[in-house]
Structure formats: C-alpha cells, structure tokens
Amino acid sequence: MPSSLARHSPEAITLADACPKPVIHQASFKVSYNYPVIFTHRVFDTNNPVLVQTLGLQEPEKRQRVLLLIDEGVANHTPQLVEQWNKYVDYYSASIASAGKPVMVPGGESAKDDTRLQDQLSQHIERNGIDRHSYVIAIGGGAMLDAVGLAAATAHRGVRLVRLPTTVLAQNDAGIGVKNGINKFGQKNWYGTFAPPFAVINDDQFLQTLKPNDRRAGMAEAVKVALIRDAAFFNWIEDNAQALARFDRAAVQYLIERCAQLHLHQITQAGDPFERGTARPLDFGHWAAHKLEKMTQNRLCHGDAVAIGMVIDSRYATLTGLLESQALERILNVLQSLGFTLYDTALKQRDAEGRRLLVQGLEDFQRHLGGELSITLPDTIGTAREVHVIDASILEQALADMQTGTALCN
Ligand SMILES: NC(=O)c1ccc[n+]([C@@H]2O[C@H](COP(=O)([O-])OP(=O)(O)OC[C@H]3O[C@@H](n4cnc5c(N)ncnc54)[C@H](O)[C@@H]3O)[C@@H](O)[C@H]2O)c1
Ligand SMILES: [Zn+2]
C-alpha cells in the first residue's frame, strides 16, 4: 500500500494500532584506529630499518608478505627503485617477502578517472595472494594513492595498506588521512571509502624528482590549513615564501611536517574523522577547486585549483565583511610569492542560460556533503567559520573582481 494511503485510510490506522511494539536490540560499539605517520630519509636504504619495523608492528614474529605498487611517474624518474626494493627485501628476508613482482600503476588524475583501473588493481591484489594479514605498499602521488587505497580497502573488505607518498601534497595531506576514492559521474571522489592506512612513511628523497608545479601544488594545502587553523604557521609561510618557492629542502620539510600535523589534528581531535556531519573545514577552497579541475579537464592540478578556490572564498569573505581586506591582501601575496596563478580563464565559462559553470560546483559540493551546504570561510588569518548560505550576487561580484583584477582596498 502506498505510504500516503497507509497514513490516511482508517483501515491502516486500525492495523497499526493492532501492531505489536517493535523490539529493538541496539548494536553499539566503537572501533579505535591508530597508525603512525613517519618521516624518514631514503626508506629503501638497507641501513634504514623503518619500513621493516613498521611492517612488523602487528605480528612481529611473522615473515610479512608484501606487494609493492608504484606510480609510473615515480618509476620513470627513479628507474633504480625496483632494484633498491629487491635488495631491501633480500637484506631483510628473515622479516619480509615479496608477494610478487612490483606493479606499475598509472599516476595523476587520469588514474582516478579510469574506472577500469580499479578492476586491474583488484586483480593484482588477488593474483598475488594478498590477504588481510599481508600488505599492499603504495608508492605515489595523491591520485595513485587514492585509487590504490580504494582497491586495498575493498579487497577482502580491507587489506593492510602502507602508503609512501611521493609528492608534497601527498605527504602533507592526501597520503596521511583516512580517505580514498576515484572520480565517477563527472564528480571528484564520488566513489570511495573511509579507510585508515596501516602506516604512512614520508621519505623526502622522493620529492627531488617532482616537476615545478607538483612541488608548488602541495603548498596550497599548507596555506589552506594555516589560514583556517594556525596564524603562526601562516606567518612562517609568509616569512619563508622565497625559500619555499625555490624548494629549499629544510623549508619544504618543515612546511610538510607542520601541515601534516595540522591535518592529523583535525582528523583525530575534531570529533568527525569519517565526516558524518556537514562541516568540512579541511575542504576550505575546495568546492570551487573540484569544479575547476573538472572544467579544465585537469589542466589545473588539484593544488593549483585549491589556490584559486581559496582566492574566491577569501574574496567572498571580504565582500561579506567577514574578513578584513588587509588579511585578503596577505593571502593573495603569499600565494603569489609561492608561484601560484590566482586566476584562470575557466572562471569565465557560462552555460547557455548565462550562468557561470563554476557556481554549479556549490551544488556538487552540497550533494557530496549530504545535508545542508557548509562552506568554510576565513574570518581572520588563522581562524574560520562555517556559512550555510552563499549569496549569489556577492559571489558573482567576487568572481567579477578577480576577472578585472580589481584592487582590494578602495
Ligand atoms: N584522500 C585524500 O584525503 C586527499 C586529500 C587531498 C587530495 N587528494 C587527491 O590527491 C590528488 C592530487 O595528488 P598530487 O598533488 O600528489 O598529484 P598526483 O598524484 O596527480 O601526481 C602528479 C604527477 O606527479 C607524478 N609523480 C608523483 N610523484 C612523483 C615524484 N616523486 N617524482 C616525479 N613525478 C611524480 C604522478 O605520476 C603524476 O603524474 C587529487 O586527486 C586529490 O583529489 C586526496
Ligand atoms: Zn585538497
């Protein structure tokens, strides 16, 4: 019987009255997660036991079976990687064994766009006999880690995953958290799970082969988290922008560690690691970024799109009186000093009815959150608040100002 009928027909009321009270047994339990995020140097050097010790954390007496998956972008720049791995496994053969030949996995956003890749990754995990007590080690950028993370989380309902992130963004954000996912139905990260890794090992040596834009991209996430959570860190980025722009090793290392620490703090201490609520502070600047990545078919990489997304939201915050224009100026300056471009022609694109395509990103974002719209906006350098309504005309003004390069203080 349709529910509207059931609600109104007297017959249904009599039946409902006659129904016994439901018996409810509440299933309630907690699962705690604990994983290390380790910073080290030259992880496959046989003098460095960090990896083998990490693999032995759970079952120290056992010889651990491991399948290595490598981002092709990393493998191309580090051709000696497989040889180093083989030597490492030989050297520690009492403790670890290779489950099969290392697998090369396409890197970059296209890896997340190709749903066939998931099937191939699952096949590698299955054929090499990885079970819930053996390991997948994924070496790569954020996109490859997201794709492999999903395959590992769904194989046998979750096999152990050790991530070795190889980009700035992966080491300070994408690779250290609890999410994975691939793109589907034209939307970023539509298909994915929450699945904390077994461990994360950040080796700064990998960063040396990054292209200039991939060096810079991850710095956007550091500006993001500094801007909403840590004014002192923001000041530090401002003071060290030159060193960061020339990829000074010590400066980059500090930036990554502090950024990773702030992300981990949000995940572990803010009470919503699996994002069941609607507030998503770590997604500051991301509603626009995700849309821009799609609109430009990834010509804009994630980090570059996040930088522009933060400019949009910060400008909007200033126009609504939330953020002082002086603070906005500092945000724009720091992003520019790091080498980000703060405008892209994609912002101009409109649909047949003349609406800006970008603005649809707000709807996509709300759908992704579920429930009400929640956008994080900075209110000072170092703090932010959630807003639930975006004024279309003020947003239009912010975008128009960006297009014309309107001065801030007038
Ligand atoms: N899961 C999460 O919580 C989370 C958080 C933030 C971002 N992300 C995702 O991360 C992705 C972006 O990751 P990214 O910025 O690391 O870029 P990326 O993974 O797209 O990598 C960029 C390029 O660099 C190559 N590469 C990787 N490491 C290299 C190295 N050491 N040397 C040379 N080339 C190398 C890759 O093959 C690729 O071609 C996006 O898909 C984004 O959605 C996920
Ligand atoms: Zn991001």
Cβ neighbours of 319 (radius 10 Å): 18
- Residue 170, pLDDT > 60, answer yes
User: pLDDT category, 2, cuts 50, 70, 90?
Assistant: very low
Q: How many helices (H) and strands (E) does the chain have?
A: 18, 11
pTM of the predicted model as reported, rounded to 2 decimal places: 0.92
The more confidently predicted of residues 79 and 18 is: 79
Ligand 1, closest atom to CA 78?
32
Task: Give me ligand 1 centre to Cα 165, in Å.
Answer: 8
Residue 10 has pLDDT above 80, yes or no: no
Q: Please name the residue whose Cα sits nearest to atom 6 of ligand 1.
A: 174
User: Measuring CA to CA, which residue among 102, 115, 236 is closest to residue 164?
Assistant: 102
**With 70 as the cut, is the pLDDT of residue 13 above it?**
no
Q: Does 184 have pLDDT greater than 50?
A: yes
> 140-164 as b/e, with b when 16 or more CB fall inside 10 Å?
bbbbbbbbbbbbbbbbeeebbbbbb
Q: What pLDDT does residue 328 have?
A: 98
The model's confidence at residue 354, banded by pLDDT at 50, 70 and 90, is confident
| Spatial distance between the Cα atoms of 387 and 375, rounded to a whole number of angstroms | 5
pLDDT, mean of residues 223-234: 97
Buried b (16+ CB within 10 A) or exposed e, 79-98: eebbeebeebbebbeebbeb
Q: Give the tens place of pLDDT for each residue, 189-228.
A: 999 999 999 999 999 999 999 999 999 999 999 999 999 9
- CA 25 – CA 30 distance, rounded (Å): 16
Q: Which residue out of 35, 42, 163, 169 has the highest number of ligand 1 atoms within 8 Å of its CB and is therefore the one to mutate?
A: 169
Burial-class residue 124 by CB neighbours within 10 Å (0-12, 13-18, 19+): buried
- Which residue of 35, 37, 71 sits with most ligand 1 atoms within 8 Å of its CB, as the best mutation to test the pocket? 71
